[in-house]
């Protein structure tokens, strides 16, 4: 009894978070944690981790090395088990920017096969006009994944099963990470909660089909979904997100039929999108970008990253 009580005290203090963390750590299942980016966006995206019998698997590594260091610190506070893997849900630098910290902590980097060809090239395009010499240097130094796959993959953390699946929609090199015994699905950017998604590399057609698959997976109503951006989500949030994408497609289709293009199209669509989703935070900039990418997809002009040979 005494030993148990002491353990509880230790576990409690070990879980107390420093106030300055760039994310909020949330336990969402036995040994399963979501690290949710804060309102100041210091981490740049969400991440998470799964503690198994003999090691830890991390999902994504944030935008920067400091946030990744804070994540490694939290993992070490919670468990003495080694960090064995980091799985990148896709190549975008806000999810891969801290990979070197995870690798230095002992992790093997697992990613979709296309990530290896894109992580040091396509991220320049992703940042666009935000690119700086510092970002260029960070992108050039991003580690390449150690294990790549174009197929589904099972990782065993001792007896704990983690299922990695290839999915379509966000970049052309997307993975989800499922923990069956905890009913937790890390979706990467296949799901955003109440925030407009970045469609720069996406196919809304494929994306909505993947989200429909999430809704129809066995036990979906009991599943915890960890989105790439926004708070921890449930089935209703997945339905809401897919409805948002379908609304965007319909409104852009209708706007084009009404003769609107470019700026006038964005001005016509954005208020309607906000009226349909009043609890979302939709900036003019995000809406204009989305409308443009959606119009490109509908007119067959959408640029998407092209897979490179290994």
Q: Which residues bind Zn ion (CB under 5 A)?
A: 92, 189
Closest to 224 (Cα-Cα) out of 216, 232, 213: 232
- Report, in Å, the least distance between residue 189 CB and Zn ion: 4
- Please provide residue 19's backbone torsions phi and psi, each rounded to the nearest 5 degrees: -65, -20
Token pair listed for 184: 């937790």
User: Which residue, 67 or 265, has its beta carbon nearer to Zn ion?
Assistant: 67
- Report, in Å, the least distance between residue 60 CB and Zn ion: 10
- Report, in Å, the least distance between residue 267 CB and Zn ion: 26
Strand partners, 154: 163
User: Which residue, 174 or 237, has its beta carbon nearer to Zn ion?
Assistant: 174
- Report, in Å, the least distance between residue 116 CB and Zn ion: 17
Closest to 256 (Cα-Cα) out of 247, 244, 269: 269
**DSSP code of residue 141:** T
User: Which residue, 92 or 194, has its beta carbon nearer to Zn ion?
Assistant: 92
User: Which residue, 96 or 148, has its beta carbon nearer to Zn ion?
Assistant: 96
Q: State the Cα–Cα distance between residues 134 and 141, nearest whole angstrom.
A: 11
Q: State the Cα–Cα distance between residues 197 and 195, nearest whole angstrom.
A: 6
User: Which residue, 115 or 184, has its beta carbon nearer to Zn ion?
Assistant: 115
Pairing of strands 108-112, 147-149: parallel
- Report, in Å, the least distance between residue 217 CB and Zn ion: 21
Helix axes 2-15, 65-78, angle to 10 degrees: 170
Token pair listed for 253: 């289709």
């Amino acid at each position: 009894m005494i030993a148990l009580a002491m353990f509880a005290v230790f576990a409690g203090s070990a879980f107390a978070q420093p106030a300055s963390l760039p994310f909020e750590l949330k336990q969402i299942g036995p040994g399963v944690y979501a690290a949710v980016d804060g309102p100041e966006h210091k981490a740049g995206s969400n991440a998470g981790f799964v503690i198994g019998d003999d090691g830890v698997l991390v999902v994504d590594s944030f935008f920067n090395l400091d946030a990744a260091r804070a994540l490694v610190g939290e993992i070490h506070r919670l468990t003495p088990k080694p960090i064995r893997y980091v799985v990148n849900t896709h190549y975008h630098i806000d999810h891969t920017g801290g990979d070197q910290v995870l690798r230095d902590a002992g992790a093997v980097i697992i990613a979709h096969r296309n990530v290896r060809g894109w992580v040091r090239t396509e991220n320049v395009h992703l940042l666009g006009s935000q690119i700086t010499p510092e970002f260029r240097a960070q992108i050039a130094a991003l580690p390449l994944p150690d294990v790549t796959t174009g197929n589904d993959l099972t990782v065993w953390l001792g007896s704990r099963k983690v299922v990695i699946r290839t999915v379509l929609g966000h970049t052309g090199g997307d993975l989800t990470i499922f923990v069956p015994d905890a009913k937790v699905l890390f979706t990467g950017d296949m799901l955003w909660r109440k925030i407009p998604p970045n469609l720069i590399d996406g196919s809304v057609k494929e994306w909505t089909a993947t989200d429909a698959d999430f809704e129809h997976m066995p036990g979906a109503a009991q599943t915890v979904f960890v989105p790439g951006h926004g708070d921890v989500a449930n089935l209703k949030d997945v339905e809401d997100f897919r409805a948002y994408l379908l609304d965007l497609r319909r409104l852009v289709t209708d706007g084009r039929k009404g003769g609107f293009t470019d700026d006038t199209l964005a001005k016509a669509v954005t208020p309607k999108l906000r009226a349909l989703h009043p609890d979302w935070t939709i900036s003019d900039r995000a809406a204009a970008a989305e409308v443009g990418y959606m119009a490109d997809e509908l007119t067959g002009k959408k640029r998407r990253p092209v897979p490179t040979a290994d």
